[in-house]
Structure 1
Amino acid sequence: METRYGGNQARTIGGDHLALRDQVLVELRRRIVDGEYAQGERLTENRLADDFGVSRNPVREALRVVEAEGFVQILPRRGAVVVTLDEPAIRDLFAVREQLETLAAGLAAERASEADVARLRQLLEDASAATEAGDFDLVAELNSALHLAVIEISGNRWLGSLSAAMYHHVHWVFRLGAAERAPHSWKEHIRVVDAIAAGDPAAATEAARDHVVAAATAALVAPSAADAQRPVA
């Protein structure tokens, strides 16, 4: 059994029921998303193996996955480098978000059950409480959970498949600027959920589009991710 480290507490890799590579992958992705590994930071196999208390093989396999997901770039003779969320990358992300989230919201308004709406409202309440408490790690998790719930409620399995990888990046962007963005995002989410609850696809689509546009605007007017690590979503 091998040990990995997060914060000041040692955690055991091998104690879960995931393959070792998958456990390293989850932890590596989390550290990038939470900013523990900064944009532009070099991540060698030896360093990550030491960080996680594992051999290089699961690290190498996990790096291949996060490279495919767009979190790192593997460069000759340098190893892996955490990518930078520059303006083109942010624009590309929000362009796709606008298409997927507006479609999902409209379909969700057509198909949501009372239980679905109750689930969304509970996520809103939890996000409000987390925002008030200043728990922005939790706010970021709830932000992604809400969007993914709307996609699930839409009933379109292709939307779910296409969105799965993208929302790791949505979480990343949101977490970097959650303190500034969270109060506005929560209010915009209320409008989306109210439209879904009313069974109004046009209103839900419009609310989702306005939300994505507002988030993109906030991200693009913030200091660059490379300089300040502060884009917001």
Structure 2
Amino acid sequence: MTKDIELFSAPDTSLRQKVFQYIKSQIINGVYSAGDILLETKLAQELGVSRTPIREAIWLLEVEGLVETTAKKGAIILGISDKDVADICVMRQLLEGLAARWATPRLTDLELKELQKIVDLTEFYAQKDNIEEIADLDNKFHQTIYEASGSKMLNLTLSNFHKYIQVARLQSMHVENRLSQTITEHLALLEAFRSQDAEAAEKAMTYHVSMVHRNISSLYH
């Protein structure tokens, strides 16, 4: 039994939500591909649940635009299109800059130390070309800023955006010199945060996300 499936025994959320989050993560991570068909019976057996929470989860996935239900084929995965990724990158440039601006006066010394630790570890894993570890560290770096922004809605929106494009982000990290650029851009953000310069932090973050967008775009051309 995988860790994901073991989560279904946890009491913190409804079964429908657990099934929904599991299938959603499989789609976002590329385990399920666009065009694949979600079979209720197969998923129910795989997850050890009845078909009812599967059906409810598929409805939620359809609301989010990740699947499309047809009369003949059932639930077909739409996944994350290239346009979805491009749209998210543009929106991130606007919203992440705002998050950095709002976070600047709110970041504690402990959080600043954590951000520095993340950058140091990123440099360490960059030498080993360990992309998976670096991607995880990048998530933590940005999540710290989202939470420090003090906005629940901004945090929720940007956290979801980050998840939706994580496959593209992973691929973009293989672009030549991207890892060293990421470290440089994160250090520029840290300097702005330490200087309590909200405008500089916003500009640094906007530039950083624009570079991510440029590298992701290069994968599709």
Give me the TM-score of the superposition, normalised by structure 2: 0.81
Q: Percent identity at matched positions?
A: 24
2:78 aligns with 83
**Cα separation, partners in 2 of 1:204 and 1:187, compared to 1, 3 Å:** same
Counterpart of 2:46 in structure 1 is: 51
Matches of 1:45 and 1:17 in 2, distance apart?
A: 23
Give the TM-score normalised by structure 1: 0.78
Deviation at 1:218, TM superposition (A): 1.2
The 2-side partners of 1:199 and 1:55 are apart by 53
Q: Which residue of structure 2 lines up, in the alignment, with residue 136 of structure 1? A: 131
Counterpart-to-counterpart distance in 2, 1:182 and 1:66: 33
Cα shift readout 1:47-72 (whole Å, capped 9, x = no counterpart): 32233232222222222333333433
Alignment-mate amino acid for residue 41 of structure 1: D
Q: CA deviation at 1:112?
A: 1.9
Match of 1:185 in 2: 182
Q: What secondary structure, in the 3-state scheme, does the structure 2 residue paired with 1:111 have?
A: coil
Q: Residues 133-183 of structure 1: CA distance to partner in whole angstroms, max 9, x if unpaired?
A: 454344333322222211211223332243343232133432344444555
Is this contact kept in 1: 2:34–2:79, CA < 8 A?
Answer: yes
Task: Return the alpha-carbon distance in structure 1 between the equivalents of residues 139 and 213 of structure 2.
Answer: 16
**Distance in 2 (alpha carbons) for counterparts of 1:66 and 1:140:** 25
Q: Which amino acid aligns with 1:222?
A: L
Gaps of 5+ in 2: none
- Contact kept? 2:172, 2:215, Cα under 8 Å: no
Say if 1:194 and 1:36 are closer, same or farther in 2 by CA, change over 3 A: same
Quote how far apart the aligned CAs of 1:210 are: 1.0
Q: Is the 8 A contact 1:13 1:20 kept in 2?
A: no
* Structure (1 or 2) with the greater strand fraction: 1
Determine if contact 2:41/2:51 at 8 Å carries over to the other structure.
Answer: yes
1:152 matches 2:155 = no
Distance 2:183 2:24 in 1: 25
Q: In the TM superposition, what whole-angstrom CA distance separates every residue of 1:101-158 from its partner, at most 9, and x where no partner exists?
A: 0011122223322122112222323434444445434433332222221121122333
Q: Please state whether the residue corresponding to 2:105 is helix, strand or coil.
A: helix
2-structure distance, mates of 1:58, 1:133: 42
Alignment RMSD, CA only? 2.8
Distance in structure 2 (CA, Å) of the matches to 1:170 and 1:74:
23
> CA separation in 2, counterparts of 1:39 and 1:131?
31
- How many pairs does the alignment contain? 218
Structure 1: where are the runs of 5+ without partners?
225-233
Instruction: Check the 8 A contact 2:102/2:149 in 1, yes or no.
Output: yes
Residue of structure 2 in register with 1:229 after alignment: none
